[in-house]
Amino acid sequence: MLPDSFRLSNLCYGHEGKHICSLKGQFDPQLVNEPIQLGQLSCGCWIVLDGNNRIGLILKHNMEAKIGEFPKTIFTFLKNEEFDEGEIYYWNPYPKTFGYVLPLSKQLNIVIKNKKSFKSERDYQNEVNRITSLLTKKMSRGPAHTHTRPNKSLHRMRHKSGAPVTFALEKKGCQEKEGCQVYTIDK
């Protein structure tokens, strides 16, 4: 299980590309009939296996939302052996956090809505391609991390609360260092 202080925006989006949310309105945890499934990748990051729309809806209204603000019953935590990580990478070769994907998705939607404001079709298409490539390409380092089949070193540190935490850092080193908030369950 993740600590109550874990921000939902640090969960990886379970699909490739821009966030597409078919849900409207406010998120009501009382209406959840199936829990949001979260899985831990072998690199240490947590990904939404089922429930991307619901996480997106929560973050749409509160980007700072933390897992502890919701009843424990709305989340199911799956261990790595309980889901096929290879299938995750098949559908989404380079998972990125909701905190990274949502602002770019919003920016892309604005560009698409304002297509007529561009001087030419070429300018419009270049902007769409630029944002789309940011959403789909491998990241070299930073808060969205690189998820090219786990080949990272895991570093043991202590969270601000004093609890032991494992952080996944790239070989070159994560720019975020202690602030990257990639947690695993310590055994």
pLDDT at 185: 40
Q: Calculate ∠ Cα 101-119-112, nearest 5°.
A: 30
B/e letters for 86-98, b = 16+ CB within 10 Å, e = fewer, are eebbeebebbbbb
CA distance 50 to 114: 32
- pTM metric for this prediction: 0.70
pLDDT in tens, 63-98: 999 999 999 899 999 877 788 888 888 888 889 999
Q: Which residue has the higher pLDDT, 6 or 42?
A: 6
Q: Which of 107, 100, 187, 81 is nearest to 147 (CA)?
A: 100
pLDDT, position 139: 65
Q: How far apart are CA 158 and CA 83, in angstroms?
A: 28
Q: Is the pLDDT confidence value at 117 over 90?
A: yes
User: pLDDT per residue over 138-187, tens digit each?
Assistant: 764 444 444 443 333 333 333 444 444 444 433 233 333 344 444 444 33
List the domain boundaries for the chain.
Answer: 8-180
3-state helix, strand, coil in the chain (%, to 5): 40, 15, 45
Q: Are 39 and 78 within 8 A, CB to CB? A: yes
pLDDT for res 8: 95
pLDDT grade for 22, boundaries at 50, 70 and 90? low
**Between residues 28 and 149, the one the model is more confident about:** 28
